[in-house]
Each structure stands twice: as C-alpha cells, then as structure tokens.
C-alpha cells in the first residue's frame, strides 16, 4: 500500500516551493486586477496559478505561473479568460453570466494589455504555456 501521507507531503512541498517563487515575484499582487492584500504574518490574498495545469505538465517553472487573486485564479482555471500572444487579455465574452456590482467585471478586462515589462524576460509567462491554456482551457473563440 502506498504511503499516502508521504505523497501528500511531496505535493505540499512542491506547491509551497512554487508559491514561494511566484507570489513574491509578482509583489503579492494579482497579475490581472492588481489586488494586493498582505498580512504582517506573510499570508496573502493572491495564489500561485499554473498556466499549463501541473497535473498534466508537471511543470513548476516560474514561466508556467502567475500570481492571481482567488477569483481570477478560479476564472483562469475554468477558461473564462486567457492571455494572447502579445500578453493581451482575452475573455470568453458571452460564454458566462456575470454580476459584479461593487467590483470590476471580468469582461471589462477584454483586450487590455497585461504589462509584464517589470519582470525579467526569463520570468515572464512562457508563450508555450499560454498557447496550451488558450488551446485546452479557454472556452472563448
């Protein structure tokens, strides 16, 4: 019988390492909306999101990740939005219902440019991972 607790420890260790690389690199802010919430204890609102999901890619490289707030991480994983070849935001407009009376709606980000110029080129999201996300996760056209 496999040692499930050991497998979970390895997974948690992998997740923590990826998170410890990505989140500070993005200054504890969501790459999409810019939200930053950081407690003195180091707990932050943003999460380290894989672009090409780890379960398929086994890729924990920095270029396969971004820091995203929980809402935008979930929406990215569901394919409601993606990133184009010039780092423009593409939203699956018309493919989901949305109401955000006190927040910026996801659809309002469509066609806006993400600015990764402050990241060193070797730390920016890779086109290979972004291509995978658009092809396999994005639900828009």
Query: Do residues 19 and 47 make contact, with C-beta atoms less than 8 angstroms apart?
Result: yes
Overall size of the chain counted in residues? 141
Which residues are registered as beta bridge partners of 68?
A: 47
Domain ranges of the chain: 4-136
d(CA 87, CA 5): 39
pLDDT at 11 over 70: no
Whole-number mean pLDDT of the chain?
90
pLDDT at 28 over 90: yes
Task: Please name the residues in contact with 38: beta carbons below 8 A apart, sequence gap of 6 or more.
Answer: 28, 44, 45
Positive or negative, the CA dihedral 105, 106, 109, 110 is negative
pTM beyond 0.85: yes
d(CA 42, CA 93): 35
Q: What is the pLDDT of residues 131-140, one digit of tens each?
A: 999 999 999 9
pLDDT of residue 55: 85
pLDDT at 10 over 60: no
């Amino acid at each position: 019988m496999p040692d499930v607790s050991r497998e979970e420890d390895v997974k948690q260790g992998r997740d923590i390492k990826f998170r410890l690389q990505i989140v500070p690199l993005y200054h504890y802010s969501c790459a999409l909306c810019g939200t930053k919430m950081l407690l003195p204890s180091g707990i932050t609102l943003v999460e380290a999101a894989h672009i090409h999901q780890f379960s398929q890619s086994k890729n924990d490289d920095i270029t396969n990740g971004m820091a995203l707030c929980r809402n935008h991480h979930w929406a990215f994983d569901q394919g409601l939005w993606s990133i184009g070849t010039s780092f423009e935001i593409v939203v699956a407009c018309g493919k989901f219902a949305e109401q955000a009376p006190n927040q910026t709606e996801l659809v309002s980000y469509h066609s806006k440019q993400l600015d990764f110029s402050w990241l060193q080129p070797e730390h920016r999201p890779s086109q290979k991972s972004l291509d995978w996300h658009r092809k396999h996760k994005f639900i828009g056209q």
